[in-house]
Each structure stands twice: as structure tokens, then as C-alpha cells.
Amino acid sequence: VLSDNVEEILNDDRISIIVEATNDTKSAYQYIKRALTLNKSVVTANKALVSAHFEELSMLAERHHVSFLYEASVGGGIPILKALKDEVILNDISSITGILNGTCNYILSNMFNNNTTYNQALNQAQELGFAEFDPHDDVSGKDTQRKLRILATLGLSTSIKEKDIILHGIEQISTLDIQHIQQLQSTCKLIGEVVKHSDHYYAVVMPCIVCNSSYFSTVNMAYNAVCIRGSHIENLTFYGAGAGASPTADAMMKDVLDVAKGGTLTKSPLKNNPLLNRNETWKDFFYLRINSNNPKLVALIKVLADQVLQQEKQLIILSKKIEYNKVRAILSKYDIKSEEYFIARIK
Amino acid sequence: VLSDNVEEILNDDRISIIVEATNDTKSAYQYIKRALTLNKSVVTANKALVSAHFEELSMLAERHHVSFLYEASVGGGIPILKALKDEVILNDISSITGILNGTCNYILSNMFNNNTTYNQALNQAQELGFAEFDPHDDVSGKDTQRKLRILATLGLSTSIKEKDIILHGIEQISTLDIQHIQQLQSTCKLIGEVVKHSDHYYAVVMPCIVCNSSYFSTVNMAYNAVCIRGSHIENLTFYGAGAGASPTADAMMKDVLDVAKGGTLTKSPLKNNPLLNRNETWKDFFYLRINSNNPKLVALIKVLADQVLQQEKQLIILSKKIEYNKVRAILSKYDIKSEEYFIARIK
């Protein structure tokens, strides 16, 4: 039975599960809201939509005793959300860390393994269908931010929105950065991470320098990986196809089967005591390249760094463990624009 | 409510889920059979028991419309069986590959990373509680064989028993082997693998030489990892704590929650057309060390090998892709005893 009329589907009492696979966030939101209100379960892969309306749609499903499932929206074919929901019941989750965007991982793998430039790697990703014509949402880290927002809210039982997550993408990475990172026996991955400490958390999407013997360095091309740490489970890591028609369809069908089997009624992910966002005090080791040789900037930055290299008109810094906010303050004081620097965490 | 009387538990109609956590395979089998017959669901971590009576207990649970769950029996805290059961419904599973024994992985990691001998590594593992007083079931590969038997039966919907799996453990690995493997920029892991081809499969537990940039080389100490390949899911890999009280308890409690939520009634894992075992034609590249310098053996083995090294009274071979059966035939012809050689696959 085929229909191109959504009303026909919504008003058919025999239909109890709706799979939303449109590419339109706005109307999909309206369809899903109505479907849940009409006591129909909904399965979607639309991460922009889930990110934008996660709490509202979850609570709506809870009120109507139906399921709202979105496994395919995070980690492609990896059954990470189902596993995370199970672990949240039994564990105190202390962190979630992941390579969540296949496009960025494809570009970075290609640059590091085949010595291509950023533009060559991006073009190739577009030709092979790993990147869209407008790759902005992927390379800016926005897509990773949406997925981390969903994982973090589920894992920490606190509403953690896109705005609560520090965001840096991979667009500014240069061949010079690659050379320096390779000299550190390391590679670079775009990583989303949320870390919980007693009553607060921090959340970041940022390129990360990971050493060549580490687990994340083995995650290549369009693959994704997610690591959950919990009080009982210790470290639990999932690796799999981050995108693609078959893995996405597989993830959606797993949701459909779960609804059909019953027993997976959606509950609001939020609990009573929300955690505080403490991004403003977040500290780490940073790699920073700035296209500037302003002597005052150099003097200031030397205080924060173990190593400062000046190469042509560029400044390359491996920082001590410092507050991210200090880095931001310096960049802003010297009016360094986003296209004039590249920043990465050193893991 | 505490009781040390199993009859009291079995005859209590208010009890609908029994968690079996004894260390006694024989009586546990009787308890579980009776519990299922009395329409009670059962959760166990006892892999020897599950391996010995998997099909029978699953079918008994199906007949009585209850659940028989054993997540903790394979991969410790990793929710691999639940995920595999989901994927089997949607995918044609083509292979399952895993590091499934924390004791062996601890010993091998220690030997490779800290240059300890096998006995030093084993003693340390025993002191730290990663190996039992009698480590035979672990180091012989028996424990991995049991776990692979469960994974393979579930994944291929065919009864694959311990006897259907080629078995070599890690007991014979020597410092000389380590040196040679390190020269190949590689490390060694005990890996269980089942691979399906149209109407047949092969299944092996054997030390594997994996290169230092591969995923499995990053799985260290008592950790486990399992990789499932399926028609839609492509490659899905899980990594986590392979043993330990907390991860095991977490896995058992996930089973209890699944029973409590309903919707996880056990079905027989077997389907109509059983696959054929074709271990006898299985081919691979092998690393083989034999404590012999019998000239006839050397001549014979040179035909099978790209590289033959004679060092002191030992013969070290990196084979071409050859039938495992040929290696066995040669070892048997020259009456090479199990303590006189070490064999590994080259991945």
C-alpha cells in the first residue's frame, strides 16, 4: 500500500508504528508530534529534528504510552542508544566520548594516510558520497554537536543542548598541522565528549590529537566509535558504520522490531537534579596554530605553552594544561578570526 | 529474604525470575531445567553450562514461554548477545571474530608490552585475580571455544558445538616467538572466529598475529572485543571489560531488566537448514615454531613456507596460504607433541 498523503497515514487506526524518513525537519516535527498524540509509535533517523525537540517529543511519547525511537540518528548502524539506555538504569555514567561524524573522519583519515590537502580530501569525500554538496554541518562539527547533545542528555539524565557544547570543527586544519601532529606519532580525529563530575559536567566537540597506538586512531574512513564509561560497566566501546543506507535502515528496523516486541515505551530522559554546565572552567592540553606573528601575542602565549614554534608567519603552540577560556580570551583580545587559527585537544 | 534451600525458591509461585550464580555446572543444570519447566525465567553467567546445554535449555524456555538469558557468559560486561540476537533477525551474519578471554589477553599483553616470560605473566595474572589457580580452561583456549560456540550458534542459527571448533591455546608461546612476532611489527592475540560461506562455515580458536596498526592490537589486558559482520550492518565491533564482578553483575542485571520489561521470550536459536562444518578445508597463513631440526621435516616444510628459519634446534616458518589439515598431517607424521610446537594464524 503506497500513499503520498500523510493524513491518510495519521488517520488510519490500523497503523501503530510510523517510520519517519523524510529530509525535512520542520514538517517532520509536525508529523511526529501528531503521530505521538494519536498514540502511534514513531521511529526516525532525523538527528537535527531529534536534537531540536528531544525532551518535548520524549515526554509526549511517555504521556501517550508509546515509543519514540531514533537509534539511527547517532552512530549510524551502531546500537549505541539502546545500549546507553540500558546502562543508564544500572550505572552512574561518568563520560561519553565518540567519533560521531563519518564525513570528518573520512577527510581526516585521507589527509593523514594519503597526504592529501583538506580540499582534495573533501572533494573525494563528495565524489564518493561521504560528504554532501554543502558539507558545512559536518565539517563545522555541528552534526557531531547534535549527536553529542542526544547522547549526553540520555547518559547524564540532564537536558544538554547544542548551545551547552563547546564547538570547533575541522575546516581550518592545514598540511602544516598534519606534519606537526605526525611528528608527535599521532593522528587527528574530531571527537565529541561529555564528562561528568559529581554535580556538574563539561561538553566539547573539538579536533583531538590521539597517539598512533590508541584505540581512536584505529577508527578510520567513514566509521564511527563511541565509548561509554560507567560505575559498573567500566569502559564499553562500540565501533561500526557511521552512515550509509544499509546500516541506517538496519538501525531503524531494530527500532521497529523493539516497538513490535513491546516493552520499550519511551520515558523522559530527564531526572530530578539537573547537572550544572561548567564549560567555563574546563581545562586541557591544546595544540594551537595561529596565523600571526604579533610579538605581543607571542609573549602572552609563551606563558601558557611548553613549546612555541614560529614557522613562517605562523605560531604553533603545545600548551600546558590550561583553561579553554584563557585561550578564547587571547584569541579574542588579538581579534584572531576563525579562519586564522586551528585548535585541537591533545588526548 | 535469604534461603539456602533451592526447593523453597523453585516452589515459590511469587518468584518468576531466577538468577543462577553458582559455580557448579552439574547441579545448576538441574536447577535451571526445573525452573524453566516451572515457567520461571532464568538468568545465568555460567558459560560452561550454557555451552553444554544451549539448545536444550533454549528450546525448553521457548516451550514454556519464558526467558533463558546468559549475557554475562560471553564478553563479560559487553552486551554482545543481545545485539547479536537483534542483528540476526535483520542480517545474514558472515563472520564473528573476538578476543573473548581476559586471562589470555592479560598474559599476552604483559609478555608483549613488558617483555615478561609466559610463567611470569601467568603468575602475575594469578596474583591480580585475572587468572585462576588452575588456569587450564583459559590458557588452553577452552573458555574461548565455549564462548565462540555460543556466539556461532546464535549468529549462524546452526548448532555449532565445542567439538566443531579447531582449538589451539597460548600455553606454548615462547620468548623466541615474541621476538619474531615483534619483528613483524605485530602482536599476538587469542582469537575465536567463525566464518560463513553460503552453505558451510569454519570455526577456529587460535593465537593470531595481528599488526600493530590493527584494531585488535589495541585491545589490551583483561579487555575483550567482538566483531560481527553482517549483510546490512557491515562491521560492528564491541569492546569492554571481559570479566570482573561489576561488569558481570551489570550484564546479569541487564538480563533481569529485560525479563522484567517483557518482550524477550527465548526462542530456539536454530533454523531449518543447518550449515555444514568445513574445518577440514580451512586455509590460512600460519606462523609455526617446531622444536625439531629433523632434516626430512625441514625439507617437507619448506614446500609450504615462504620463509623457513632455523635457530638453534628450532624451526620457524611463515607459511603460504595452506590448508590447516596439511600442517596437522605433518605434525602428526613426525610425531610432534603439543608441547613441541607453537602455531598462530597471521591475520
Write out pLDDT tens, residues A71-101. 999 999 999 999 999 999 999 999 999 999 9
The angle formed by the CA atoms of residues B32, B37 and B43, to the nearest 5 degrees, is: 35
Please say if the pLDDT value at position B272 is more than 80: no
pLDDT band at A330 (very low <50, low <70, confident <90, very high): very high
Contacts of A261 in chain B (CB under 8 A): 263-264
Residues 71-90 of B with CB under 8 A from A: 77-79, 83, 86-87, 89-90
Nearest chain B residue to A236 by CA distance is B240
**ipTM value for the complex:** 0.92
Rounded CA-CA distance A330/A345 in Å is 17
Hey, CA dihedral for A328, A331, A333, A335, is it positive or negative?
A: negative
Contacts of A213 in chain B (CB under 8 A): 212, 218
Mind telling me the catalytic residues of B? 147
Please say if the pLDDT value at position B96 is more than 80: yes
Nearest to A247 among B215, B233, B253 (CB): B233
* Nearest chain B CA: its distance from A207 CA (Å): 21
Q: Give the model's pLDDT for residue A153.
A: 98
Kindly state the DSSP code that residue A288 receives in the 8-state scheme.
E
C-alpha closest to that of B78 among B241, B223, B221, B219:
B241
Contacts of A253 in chain B (CB under 8 A): 90
Write out pLDDT tens, residues B223-269. 999 999 999 999 999 999 988 889 999 999 999 999 998 867 899 99
φ/ψ of residue B203, rounded to 5 = -145, 130
B237, A233: Cβ pair inside 8 Å?
no
Q: Give the model's pLDDT for residue B142.
A: 98
For B260-276, the DSSP string reads: HH-------S--SSPPE
Write out pLDDT tens, residues B13-36. 999 999 999 888 999 999 999 999
Q: Give the model's pLDDT for residue A285.
A: 97
Q: Give the model's pLDDT for residue B64.
A: 97
pLDDT band at B306 (very low <50, low <70, confident <90, very high): confident
pLDDT band at A328 (very low <50, low <70, confident <90, very high): very high
The angle formed by the CA atoms of residues A287, A211 and A288, to the nearest 5 degrees, is: 5
In terms of phi and psi (left: phi > 0; alpha: psi -120 to 50; beta: otherwise), the region of B288 is beta
Write out pLDDT tens, residues A119-166. 999 999 999 888 889 999 999 999 999 999 999 999 999 999 999 999
* Nearest chain B CA: its distance from A275 CA (Å): 24
The mean pLDDT value for A310-326 works out to 93
CB B188 within 8 A of CB B344: yes
- Stretch (H or E) spanning A82: helix A80-90
CB B222 within 8 A of CB B244: yes
Provide the grid cell at A266: 519511551
* Nearest chain A CA: its distance from B227 CA (Å): 9
Write out pLDDT tens, residues A99-119. 999 999 999 999 999 999 999
Nearest chain A residue to B263 by CA distance is A261
* Nearest chain B CA: its distance from A214 CA (Å): 7
Mind telling me the catalytic residues of A? 147
Rounded CA-CA distance B138/B91 in Å is 31
Contacts of B97 in chain A (CB under 8 A): none
Q: Give the model's pLDDT for residue A82.
A: 95
Provide the grid cell at B302: 619448506
For B53-86, the DSSP string reads: HHHHHHHHHHHTT--EE-GGGSSTT--HHHHHHH
A261, B264: Cβ pair inside 8 Å?
yes
For B136-151, the DSSP string reads: HHHHTSHHHHHHHHHH
Please say if the pLDDT value at position B198 is more than 80: yes
- How many CB atoms sit inside 10 A of residue B181's CB? 21
For residues B115 and B273, the model is more confident at: B115
Residues 234-263 of B with CB under 8 A from A: 234-241, 244, 246-247, 249-250, 253-254, 257, 261-263
* Nearest chain B CA: its distance from A265 CA (Å): 10
Please say if the pLDDT value at position A227 is more than 90: yes
Contacts of A241 in chain B (CB under 8 A): 233-236
- Using CA atoms, how far residue A62 sits from A205, B203, B314, B316, in Å, is 30, 45, 68, 64
Rounded CA-CA distance B302/A296 in Å is 70
Strands B223-230 and B93-99: antiparallel
Question: Looking at this protein, which amino acid is placed at residue B152?
Answer: A
Q: Give the model's pLDDT for residue B129.
A: 86
Contacts of B243 in chain A (CB under 8 A): none
Please say if the pLDDT value at position A264 is more than 90: no
Is B221 at the interface with chain A, CB within 8 A? no
A240, B240: Cβ pair inside 8 Å?
no
Q: Give the model's pLDDT for residue B277.
A: 98
Provide the grid cell at A14: 490500523
pLDDT band at A307 (very low <50, low <70, confident <90, very high): confident
Provide the grid cell at A324: 579553554
Please say if the pLDDT value at position A265 is more than 90: no
The angle formed by the CA atoms of residues B282, B286 and B290, to the nearest 5 degrees, is: 120
Is A282 at the interface with chain B, CB within 8 A? no
For residues A133 and B273, the model is more confident at: A133
C-alpha closest to that of A164 among A137, A133, A138, A195:
A195
